[in-house]
Chain A
Amino acid sequence: MPRVRGGSKRKESRKKIMALAKGFKGKRGTSHRIAKQAVMKALRNSYIDRRRRKRDFRRLWITRISAAAKLNGMSYSKFIGGLERQEVGLNRKILAEIAVHDAETFAVLVGTAKEGVAEE
């Protein structure tokens, strides 16, 4: 069997790595040996952070809802508890957007939540 030389395949795989490392700082973007490690780490981090993003945003929404609820004289936990009781099906993302853009509607929601709390 004829001997196979690996040059072309190797070039392909290097090109792939170097393309992913484009824009990295210093040798991490120019030298294949360093770039390979950097790319592995970058892909791992982006995988982790795509999952983290969901938690990060939920935290942000809760902070915003909490601030808006306190402006209307209600704590976050009481507010969410009251809405739950009234079976208001809005999620935290939409509640946060309402809190930012439409304070009047949010005040109405706080009113609803207060009724919910009072029912107990």
Chain B
Amino acid sequence: MQRTFVAKNEEIGKSWNRDWYLVNAEGKRLGRLASEIAMILQGKRKPIYTPHVDTGDYVVVINAAKIDLSGNKWDQKLYRRHSGYIGGLKEIPYRRLIEKRPTFPVREAVRRMLPKTTLGRRMLRKLKVYAGPEHPHTAQRPEEIAL
């Protein structure tokens, strides 16, 4: 019987067997960009995709601070967190958050699209986000892609 191909962690799991991609986030819509990035990190754009193995590639995002939102989300999109104490709900609108932590929205949007598992958290580590146009990964020679 022809058995279905299964990617092995020893071959694909090594970082030198992975590709690097460079994404310029300037003027892109946050959610649409994040879903494409999540697909690359999971390896779902490759035919060797195997659910229990991380077959994804690295993604370097530059100009994360210049990402765009549709509608009134600059003021209406709220990032919420709760400390666990009574009245401990903190809300911060996008406009203020992007000033304080310019790389957070991209990272967070991608994180929420990845599986909430150990493997999912490992996939997220392959995502590198930078607020400005520079990144320290020139040695990996990331290939620029338009999403």
Contacts and interface: CB of A to CB of B under 8 A. Distances in A.
Contacts, number: 37
Looking at chain B's contact residues, the main secondary structure is loop
A57 B49 contact: no
Interface string B41-53: 0001111111100
A60 B47 contact: no
Contacts of A100: 5, 47-48
Interface residues of B, number: 11
A68 B4 contact: no
A60 B2 contact: no
Interface string B28-63: 000000000000000011111111000000000000
B4 A93 contact: yes
A96 B47 CA distance: 8
A70 B4 CA distance: 20
25 contacts: A60-B4, A60-B49, A60-B51, A61-B4, A63-B44, A64-B48, A64-B49, A65-B47, A67-B44, A67-B45, A67-B46, A67-B47, A67-B49, A68-B47, A71-B45, A93-B2, A93-B4, A96-B4, A96-B47, A97-B2, A100-B5, A100-B47, A100-B48, A103-B47, A106-B47
Interface of B: 2, 4-5, 44-51
CB-CB nearest 7 A-B residue pairs = A99-B47, A68-B47, A100-B5, A64-B47, A100-B47, A67-B47, A67-B45
